[in-house]
Amino acid sequence: MLELKVAAYNSVSYTDFWKLFGEGRHEDFLNLLVNQLSPHLSSQAFDFWYHKGLDTFGKTGLYYTGGSRHALKLIQWLGRLLGVSKDMAKICTAETLNEQREIWTKRVRRVILSQFLAYTVIGSERFLWKALGVPKEQRDIIEKDFSATMEKTDSKTPTKNKSGKAIWEYGVNTLDPVVNNTLVADDNHYYLVCLQGKYSQRCHPSYISPKAHAKLSAPGAFDGLRIHTDELAEVITRMTPETLTIAVLMDSMDWFDPEAKDAEVQIKAVNRALKTGGRVMIRSSGLKPWYIDTFEAGGFSCKRVSARTPPGTCVDR
């Protein structure tokens, strides 16, 4: 995917670029691939898109591929089943926060944040991994936070509750603040694409904007890009010491086993590759993930930028 995006910057018009990554569909993908994109792709990437591209950008649509398609299709199926499809579409075009909040509160919330759905489907280990990309280790972090919260509030709810309750609470603390504080149709393309399967000219990632396309399609724009296909720790270990200034690890460390040495190995490798004063940026499903202690033991000073507490706090982006 990264190769395809870079190749598209280097070879196709903004109109075609928007069709590929804005709408996720292109009526003439194979011709575009062979005649314009191919000189800028490795043989492996070309072979992949030659065999997968027609389905991806044709009848399926880019944003309905991969494991997450199961979650998106489930939401749409529930919307039709429970009669809120039109309301979900209205969220994608709402002009004001008040309008969006009203649609969410009165109609959509009871579907998306259904306790029954969370307990029976979303909370299952199989669905969390296959549809949402949440592995067991990350689910355990969410459950641990939930149990700690129950203990602090002296709740009679058993702390060893099944995943459904913990995932439901996590969903509430994530989605309610997003709907109440960010206008999906204007400035939250992450949720827009989940609801409608494509972006809009009004709301989309900055990399798809005409300004970004003009800048990144200029000669030499990607001269500094290096693509590695390997485990993160392996790539960082091979780097010259003190050459990195920023390492963005996303939530990848949530996937590590707390009982294994993977976190320690990776943190040592990152420390070695970073310049003094360099930064590591992470996000996590946990309020204080277990590996923060490992970072501090490895010489890092850790600061939490934001967290979803107290309930209602919006930490989106």
Residues 137 and 241 in one domain: no
The more confidently predicted of residues 194 and 16 is 16
Angstrom distance (rounded) from CA 203 to CA 198: 10
Residue 313 domain-assigned (yes or no): no
- Residue 316's pLDDT band, with cuts at 50, 70 and 90, is confident
For the segment 45-66, the average pLDDT, to the nearest whole number, is 93
Beta carbons of 282 and 249 less than 8 angstroms apart = yes
pLDDT number for residue 155: 56
Q: Give per-residue pLDDT as tens, 97-138.
A: 999 999 999 989 988 888 877 777 777 777 777 767 788 899
User: Residue 289 is part of which domain span?
Assistant: 232-297
Q: Give per-residue pLDDT as tens, 141-163.
A: 999 988 888 777 655 555 444 56
Residue 20 domain-assigned (yes or no): yes
Residues 83 and 143 in one domain: yes
Residues 164 and 208 in one domain: no
User: Which region among 16-20, 41-45, 77-81, 290-294 has the lowest average model confidence (pLDDT)?
Assistant: 77-81
Residue 227 domain-assigned (yes or no): no
Residues 186 and 251 in one domain: no
For the segment 184-189, the average pLDDT, to the nearest whole number, is 94
23: helix, strand or coil = helix
> 282-288: long-range contacts at Cβ-Cβ below 8 A with a sequence spacing of 24 or more?
282/248, 282/249, 282/250, 282/251, 282/253, 283/250, 283/251, 284/141, 284/251, 284/253, 284/254, 285/134, 285/138, 285/141, 285/142, 285/170, 285/251, 285/254, 286/141, 286/142, 286/144, 286/145, 286/254, 287/145
pLDDT number for residue 153: 67
pLDDT number for residue 162: 58
pLDDT number for residue 157: 52
Q: Give per-residue pLDDT as tens, 18-35.
A: 999 999 999 999 999 999
pLDDT number for residue 165: 86
Residues 260 and 290 in one domain: yes
The more confidently predicted of residues 50 and 315 is 50
Strands 244-250 and 274-282: parallel
Residue 314 domain-assigned (yes or no): no
Residues 211 and 252 in one domain: no
Residues 57 and 102 in one domain: no
Residues 127 and 237 in one domain: no
- Residue 311's pLDDT band, with cuts at 50, 70 and 90, is confident
pLDDT number for residue 160: 46
Residue 278 domain-assigned (yes or no): yes
Residue 247 domain-assigned (yes or no): yes
Residue 317 domain-assigned (yes or no): no
Residue 39 domain-assigned (yes or no): yes
What is the domain count for the chain? 3
Residues 51 and 152 in one domain: no
Residues 40 and 91 in one domain: no
Residues 178 and 282 in one domain: no
Whole-prediction pTM? 0.87
Mean pLDDT computed over every residue of the chain: 90
pLDDT number for residue 161: 46
Residues 48 and 74 in one domain: no
pLDDT number for residue 113: 85
Q: Give per-residue pLDDT as tens, 277-308.
A: 999 999 999 999 999 999 999 999 999 999 98
